[in-house]
Structure 1
């Protein structure tokens, strides 16, 4: 552990650890609020097409239409994020956020520490009994629901499980290069040149557009697809 004293409870865990059949489970409806960011097709169209679901935008300022996830976000905020040094709080007038904005940079949490903290916090939440679940933990409630669910859970097809990068918006990039000048084929993406051996060996692509998906965790990498899908 990067953070001293951080530990998993004996009951902590994640859904696929207790119910392997829900691995890569798909949802039928994706509920969001009517925030401006949710009104653009680029935001959710790739997700809906990939998962096979529909988008349902609820009324503005009505979180009660999504009670479970909104309650979870509130719990995560109160138990974790508002207690961190440098927190931005729930809103601009939140005293915790005002204190957080005055925190020295060197005291802020690092990304690896935040990832570790999120993992432990959510795993422990899954193993904590809830009054709303009749004293069961979320993992116990899930097991009970699966046992009494007649139809199998819809899951992502095996072929798509290695292509999760397609959950994000696609970028169409033009292949550039000049054989006469000895410039191998490449693409420009966010101001940087990308290429690899396959692209450099593929002739006849100059001027063609290929589909590119960046690696969200490492912008030095990207997945690219030729016009024929290869």
Structure 2
């Protein structure tokens, strides 16, 4: 079974790769090309990526791409509410695998801050994201439960986070796994990306995607909010 065999919405493109290293290389080449195009057109490029363990090889490949990184702004689609030195920090992950070498010249906007509450941290992240230029490239992942970024089914703020017309850029979210407290970009901000990409690996993710395509309840599977043109999906076993 390949992702190209699924019945995708009109305008949604898909690329199959035979292994994670080849996917990472192909994805990094495409993302770098789109960032170069944005720099040429507007003088600056904005990249939003997801954290977790799956994107590490992609980050390493992207860091080797020739690009004027001083003209790139990078931030995260979501973050665990833990300090950057914590093993679960997405910002810490980026600083180890992406924001190295020439990429260290990029401007990084962190979602994390030390605050008295998760809500206050989300408000500060929301204010920081007000300085974010328009998103050129967005790379999302997807969980087996159909979540993306930290838009988890049954999270208390999910309705507001999924509102297409929300004025919030970042909201506090709750994950079913530790660490529970998360900060996530809203659907409204994520959906503004010029070039959204979904990168997934494994047969289970293909089954999850198939289930997501078969329904329309966004609260049940938040990834459904993004399964529309001009999305490009990258998949490997």
Task: Place the TM-score, normalised by the shorter chain, in its bin.
Answer: under 0.3
The structure with more radius of gyration: 1
- Kindly indicate which of the two structures has a greater share of residues assigned to strand: 2
Q: TM-score by structure 2 length?
A: 0.27
Q: TM-score by structure 1 length?
A: 0.27
